[in-house]
Structure 1
Amino acid sequence: MRDPLLLIVATIIVTALSISAVVHNGKAEDTMPTKSNNASNTDTITNDQPQSHPYLGMWVTGDGRIRQELLPTGRYDEARGTRRSAYQGRYRVTGTHIDYWDDTGFTADGTFVDSDTLHHGGMIFYREKT
């Protein structure tokens, strides 16, 4: 009789630990994994957290095939060739490091080597000049 009860309790605990939302100030927020090796391997950010950093705007590969816009809402929109919005998701800039969390579930990161150059995913992006 105790085994079924134990199984139910264990299932509830596992389910509670796997939920990917937290409540902060009465509002549900998504959690996102970080690449750190800290004991806590999650970080919290809302979907539309305003970003304030010098890297906002459009970033383009040298051949113009890939265009990635870093929006002030903390979202990015990446076009590939003629395919608009091929990838979309959230990002966070910390210093010269950028972490991406794509809406489809994959993660990536990159480094701004200077104010006009981004190394990301084995590619080099340049700030689009207006």
Structure 2
Amino acid sequence: MSTHANDAADTTDSIAAEPQSHPYLGMWVTGDGRIRQELLPTGRYDEARGTRRSAYQGRYRVTGTQIDYWDDTGFTAEGTFADDDTLHHGGMIFYREKR
């Protein structure tokens, strides 16, 4: 996750998660299945890493194809949806989980 110095005032403590309505809701998984990130309609996300459930949690906002994350521990990150089923985030590629 990358931090942004200019986002100091835009923290999870100061701004509540906003309900989200976009085509990217649901579970996103790395190709090896090690990292799973669920984008919830509440504007929150929950990320599991390996066997560690809820390793990272926080809020997020989607604007167009850009996603911005504010982790509950204070880190910020961003990503880009390359298409409806592919997310580039943190140097990794996530794929929409098909149900």
1:46 aligns with 2:16: yes
1:82-97 equivalences under 5 Å are 82-97=51-66
1:32 aligns with 2:32: no
Give the letter for the 1:32 counterpart.
Answer: D
- Number of residue pairs matched? 90
TM-superposed CA distance for 1:46, in Å, is 2.0
Give the letter for the 2:16 counterpart.
Answer: T
Q: Which has the higher helix share?
A: 1
TM-superposed CA distance for 1:32, in Å, is 1.5
Q: Which residue of 2 aligns with 1:110?
A: 79
Structure 2 unaligned spans of 5+? 1-7
* SS of alignment partner, residue 10 of structure 2: strand
User: Identity of aligned pairs, percent?
Assistant: 86
Give the letter for the 1:74 counterpart.
Answer: G
Return the TM-score normalized by structure 2.
0.86
- Whole-angstrom CA distance in 1 between matches of 2:63 and 2:85: 16
TM-superposed CA distance for 1:45, in Å, is 4.2
* SS of alignment partner, residue 90 of structure 1: strand
| Divergent runs of 4+, >4 A | none
Give the letter for the 1:103 counterpart.
Answer: D
Q: Which residue of 1 aligns with 2:45?
A: 76
- Whole-angstrom CA distance in 1 between matches of 2:28 and 2:63: 17
- Whole-angstrom CA distance in 2 between matches of 1:129 and 1:45: 32
Give the letter for the 1:72 counterpart.
Answer: P
Which of residues 58, 63, 73 is equivalent to 2:32? Answer: 63
Change (3 A) 1:56 1:124: same
Structure 1 unaligned spans of 5+? 1-19, 21-30, 34-43
- Whole-angstrom CA distance in 1 between matches of 2:74 and 2:16: 16
